[in-house]
Chain A
């Protein structure tokens, strides 16, 4: 369970300016909950994820992770970065193996697991390629495989499907839900795509423009096994509702 209370964050630019990125954010994410984070560009979604990951110092407020305040990064919280952050000097396989090595898995298990996840994201043919030899969408999938392979208890995903084409995106959404069901975990999923948010998440947190505040929290519990889900009226109404909230945010920012 993740509890965020009164969290604010201010960046300092090298020339001394203060940029307020998050203002008084409070939210909880339950043990096995899938939460989506929506909001206009620059509203602090990535910043919130970095704070949850323990990468940035917490200046105001607290983040508790299973009741203990977080103090730094750890393998209990896996993250997929918006700009992938793959190790360019490692191949796709090497990248995926990295976390598995840190887990101390025996070699054979590591190899098998890496192969499994590389296959899952459809990169088997590119397992020995370096990131510089991959397209944006391929890099993104490699980054997803690297994070999912270590099976973290909490998943922080920053627009993880942003660089993918519609078809691959749908595939990856299905895979993610499958993994989430098989090994339930808390997921905080940042996206710009309202339909994706409503489809994947059980709860949607809509943020307002800079400095990021929580504008609304919308429930979106649907039966995701239903292949017709996206065509049902209830689903489409929810998408419209959330879309209106996000759109309103954007208007405010102008």
Chain B
């Protein structure tokens, strides 16, 4: 019930959308009616096109993000723990941070072609930054008395990293991962629009070029929905992981 109330504004937009196109206020060329979009969506699913392209996209996004999380989290925590690494990596992070990551799309395409690998590399490179920064800041914020506690209770130096530094870093790390998740969708779709022969981004682009606008909208909505769901699920997961917080 509360969920229904929460998303009421979206229901309103959907109603307005349907009304606007049905009464011809906006030409269906620019905004196809919701019913035709839904029909197009069903057709895309039935033909297997939707699933094939979605699978390709999810694989790329998931793989890129997973590697980014693994490498970024390890790197960030190692940087907090070990000064020389921090001095080596920090300037690179600072230099890369303001770069619009979409500028790398042609670069990774040049290196690795139009297939999965270039997308995975792109998403990995871009998503690693917020994850690394989150892990780094979180680990640096770890109170030293907490580390001392663990040491005095018999934990070895390295063990403390896993037992104390990692959990202390979790709140900021999860925040970084959430940013990375959003970033991965942006880069996934834009790279597939520009340099790909399949995937949801490619589907949107090719349907748009072919003038099949209701199907194009169906693909756009699918991406939006996937982005929304993954963020919600991730938020839930974060809340569960951080259930110890007040």
B13 beta carbon closer than 8 Å to chain A: no
In the complex, the number of residue pairs spanning A and B with C-beta atoms less than 8 Å apart equals 68
A103 beta carbon closer than 8 Å to chain B: yes
User: Hey, what's the 0/1 contact readout for A69-90 against B, CB within 8 Å counting as 1?
Assistant: 0001111011101010111111
Known: A85-B143, A85-B146. A77 touches B246 (CB 8 A): no
Q: Mark out the residues of chain B between 201 and 246 whose CB falls within 8 Å of any chain A CB in the assembled complex.
A: 243-246
User: Hey, what's the 0/1 contact readout for A47-78 against B, CB within 8 Å counting as 1?
Assistant: 00010010100000000000000001111011
Known: A132-B245, A132-B246. A87 touches B151 (CB 8 A): no
Inter-chain contacts of A174 with B (CB < 8 A): none
Tell me the complex Cα distance, A105–B170, Å: 28
**Minimal beta-carbon separation of B175 from chain A (angstroms):** 16
Inter-chain contacts of B146 with A (CB < 8 A): 85, 87
A55:B148 contact, CB within 8 angstroms: yes
A73:B244 contact, CB within 8 angstroms: no
B148:A89 contact, CB within 8 angstroms: no
Q: How many interface residues does A have (CB within 8 Å)?
A: 31
Q: Mark out the residues of chain A between 109 and 156 whose CB falls within 8 Å of any chain B CB in the assembled complex.
A: 130-133, 146-147, 150, 152
A89:B167 contact, CB within 8 angstroms: yes
B246:A150 contact, CB within 8 angstroms: no
A73:B152 contact, CB within 8 angstroms: yes
Tell me the complex Cα distance, A184–B150, Å: 23
**Minimal beta-carbon separation of B214 from chain A (angstroms):** 49
B153:A99 contact, CB within 8 angstroms: yes
Inter-chain contacts of B154 with A (CB < 8 A): 74-75, 99, 102-103, 150
Dominant secondary structure of chain A at its interface with chain B: loop
B149 beta carbon closer than 8 Å to chain A: yes
Residue from A85, A91, A147 with most neighbouring chain B CB atoms (10 Å) = A85
**Minimal beta-carbon separation of A151 from chain B (angstroms):** 12
Tell me the complex Cα distance, A76–B69, Å: 38
Tell me the complex Cα distance, A53–B148, Å: 9
Known: A87-B164, A89-B170, A133-B246. A98 touches B145 (CB 8 A): no
B104 beta carbon closer than 8 Å to chain A: no
- List the interface of chain A (C-beta within 8 A of B): 50, 53, 55, 72-75, 77-79, 81, 83, 85-91, 98-99, 102-103, 130-133, 146-147, 150, 152
Q: A55-B151, A78-B152, A147-B152 are in contact. List 14 more A-B contacts (CB 8 A).
A: A50-B148, A55-B148, A55-B152, A77-B152, A79-B149, A81-B145, A86-B149, A87-B149, A91-B244, A99-B153, A102-B155, A130-B243, A132-B244, A146-B153
- Counting from the closest, the 9 A-B pairs by CB-CB distance are A102-B154, A99-B153, A132-B246, A75-B154, A73-B151, A85-B145, A130-B244, A85-B149, A89-B167
